[in-house]
A and B are shown apart, each in its own frame.
Chain A
Amino acid sequence: MTLRDEILSACAGRIKDTLEKTDKHTFENAEEIRIRSGRGMFIKTNLDELAVCEDGSLTREEKNIFIPTEKDIHTFFEVMSGYSFYAFNEEIKNGFITIQGGHRIGIAGHAVCENGKITALSDISSVNIRICRQMIGISKKVIPYIYKKGTFLNTVIISPPGFGKTTLLRDIIRNLSVSGQNVSVADERGEIGGCWKGHVTNDLGPRTDVMDSVPKALGMRMLLRSMAPDVIACDEAGGEDDIMAIDEIKRCGVKILCTFHGYGIEDLEIKTGSDFERYIVLDFADGIRKAAIFDENKMIGVEKL
């Protein structure tokens, strides 16, 4: 199944009809599909963001663009969740669900709160499909930096959203697994493994165990006890509990590989106070993705990915 088929098979109604009319190469560079009730549907690539017209063509103008209605979004979301809202209750409270293939569907609408916590999200008005893409081999140039005398070093990947943290993380996991390390992944959002009904759909290598839909800290602690891993990986750590779990793992002699939102090592230090042996800071400009690799003291290399 191609990426296009994967996305289209999850869609429904007028939104699907319009996406089906788009050129078959449209999805090749797409990173996000943003759908806003009463405003339009936009496809964001690594260079541009274009509106989708009724006839499936893409434009920078705002004339004759496809305007999804509230009902279109409701139908789209019903079908996308497999008519199974109940199965995504916890995810919906966090504002997203993950579908087959690891694509993350972010949602915005009317939030119902109780005691400062979101208990429900209804009247969904905006949807953002973040397309999950495997880029096998993207970590090839980075790998030599994150090993010392054949031992993997505690590594963190830092970048703002949309710069490819998860894609790089996924490929490093695959490489570690192929090289003989037992890797355990706490995949809270199901994005790393693209888990569907508990089965990993992305290539994470032969020695990788994935626990999905579990809070990262809890998942990491469980995996530490149950799977005897060499390396534990997780995406977008940052909460207090995540940092405590990471420190515990490091103290147990198990290596850690994770990602953080931020622009540099300073952000990480402010947020966590936790130390790593390698820092990979991603930068993305003019369609070129670069990784700057640091040890505890200084930059040790820059690689174009």
Chain B
Amino acid sequence: MMKFLGSATVIFFGWLIGVLISKKDKFKIEDLEEFKRGLGIFSGEMRCTSIPLSDIFDEISQRCNGAVSKLFSDAALFAREKKDSDAGELWQRAVEKNAGNFYFGSEEMDCLFSFSPVLLGHFRSQQEQGTENIIDDIETVCMKLREKSSKDERLFRSAGLLCGILICVIIF
């Protein structure tokens, strides 16, 4: 009985680890989608309200969730501190501070960093165009991640399950 329960537990946890690893790409997609939503809000606020950058970042922080919310909240704080020489620099600092809160790899991090030169644009049209370009990039990255995720999901689940069975065979 003990052997049976032990085996079941090991197999279950093997499968669970597999599921969690397979979900990693989904978390990335969720964060990227949230960031895309933030950029949409940025574009709309910039076009329609002309409020200062710090206020826009605060607004995005309130309307978004998770790591993206924290990222924009820190950027708003940095904008109020007025310690950075330009908006690009303050965004870069906020991304570096929050890098640990995302599951991102280098390609996804590039999406975050690419907002930096957009903020340096002197004109609304320039910034709007730049934001649209990032949104397009995010969609491309998300599409790739979705394709990868659908392939990897079954693989990692099966691998987790098999690992669990293998451990049981070795132990028991």
Contacts from A to B (Cβ < 8 Å): 9, 12-13, 71, 74-75, 78-79, 82-89, 92, 120-122, 197
Taking a contact as CB atoms closer than 8 A, the residue among A75, A92, A121 that contacts B86 in the complex is A75
Contact of B50 with A87 in the complex, beta carbons under 8 Å: yes
Q: 18 A-B Cβ contacts within 8 A? A: A74-B85, A74-B86, A75-B85, A79-B85, A82-B52, A82-B53, A83-B84, A83-B87, A83-B90, A84-B53, A85-B122, A87-B46, A87-B50, A87-B53, A89-B123, A89-B124, A122-B122, A197-B52
B98 near A: Cβ within 8 Å? no
Size class of B's contact patch? 20 to 34
In angstroms, how far is the closest chain A Cβ from the Cβ of B92?
13
B90-123, CB under 8 A of A: which get 1 and which 0?
1000000000000000000000000000010111
B79 near A: Cβ within 8 Å? yes
Contacts from B to A (Cβ < 8 Å): 46, 50-55, 79, 82-87, 90, 119, 121-124, 127
Taking a contact as CB atoms closer than 8 A, the residue among B55, B82, B123 that contacts A120 in the complex is B123
Besides A83-B119, A85-B123, A87-B46, 14 more A-B contacts (Cβ < 8 Å) are A12-B83, A79-B82, A79-B85, A82-B52, A82-B53, A83-B52, A83-B53, A84-B50, A86-B124, A87-B51, A89-B123, A120-B122, A121-B122, A122-B122
List residues of chain A with CB within 8 A of the CB of B123.
85-86, 89, 120
Q: What secondary structure prevails in chain A residues at the interface with B?
A: helix
Given contacts A89-B123, A122-B122, A197-B51, contact A83 B86 (CB under 8 A): yes
Q: A86 vs B120: C-alpha distance in the bound complex, in angstroms?
A: 10
Given contacts A12-B85, A78-B85, contact A86 B79 (CB under 8 A): no
List residues of chain B with CB within 8 A of the CB of A92.
122
List residues of chain A with CB within 8 A of the CB of B54.
82-83
Q: A120 vs B83: C-alpha distance in the bound complex, in angstroms?
A: 26
- CB closest chain-B residue, reference A92: B122
List residues of chain B with CB within 8 A of the CB of A79.
82, 85
List residues of chain B with CB within 8 A of the CB of A75.
85-86
List residues of chain B with CB within 8 A of the CB of A84.
50-53
- CB closest chain-B residue, reference A83: B87
